[in-house]
Amino acid sequence: MSVEAGTKAPEFELAGVDGPIRSADFAGKPYVIYFYPKDDTTGCTREAQDFSALAGDFGAAGVTVLGVSKDSVASHRKFTAKYGLTIPLGSDPEGAVIERFGSWVEKSMYGRQYMGIDRSTFLVDAKGTIVRVWRKVKTPGHAAEVLKAAQSL
């Protein structure tokens, strides 16, 4: 299944710091789900901080933001506490949800091919339809761009 604008967002269930996070929790409400490679690394920290800084604005627009990586709930708890993050983080250790969204991709570094998480973001409307997709995200300004799109729903 290709996950792109105009398609239904895949269903999911993730472990979260405060218990399970399910796609059903967002039924009838718009949300942003973004996938990132690793807790407490430079780009991922910046992205989580940027989304956290704008959490109030997303909330005012009626949109919840959810970050997802393969890191454990314990890692997410530590990451959240260390940086004062205000957005929920979902743990997908097996990568099933990451794969469902098409964010588990072949990457290349120093000529070496490997599989990894594509830094990607999905804006989902209240009907569960993906409205906008960002792939190969560059962190600077990204959260603000997503907010602008979310405010236009």
Residue 118 lies inside a defined structural domain of this protein = yes
- Whether residue 90 lies inside any domain: the answer is yes
Domain range for 47 is 30-151
Amino acid at 128: G
Give me the catalytic one of 14, 32, 33, 44. Answer: 44
Sign of CA dihedral 83, 84, 85, 88: positive
Q: How many structural domains compose the chain?
A: 1
- Residues whose CB falls within 8 Å of the CB of residue 124, separated by 6 or more in sequence, listed in order: 9, 26, 30, 31, 32, 33, 130, 131
Percent of the chain with pLDDT over 90: 97
Q: How many Å apart are CA 78 and CA 99, to the nearest integer?
A: 25
CATH code of residue 127:
3.40.30.10
Q: Is the pTM of this model over 0.85?
A: yes
Whether 13 maps to a domain, the answer reads no
Residue corresponding to tokens 């959810």:
66
**Residue 109 confidence (pLDDT):** 87
Is the pLDDT score of 1 beyond 80?
no
Segment 17-28, tens digit of pLDDT: 999 999 999 999
Among this protein's residues, is 52 annotated catalytic?
no
In a domain, 20, yes or no: no
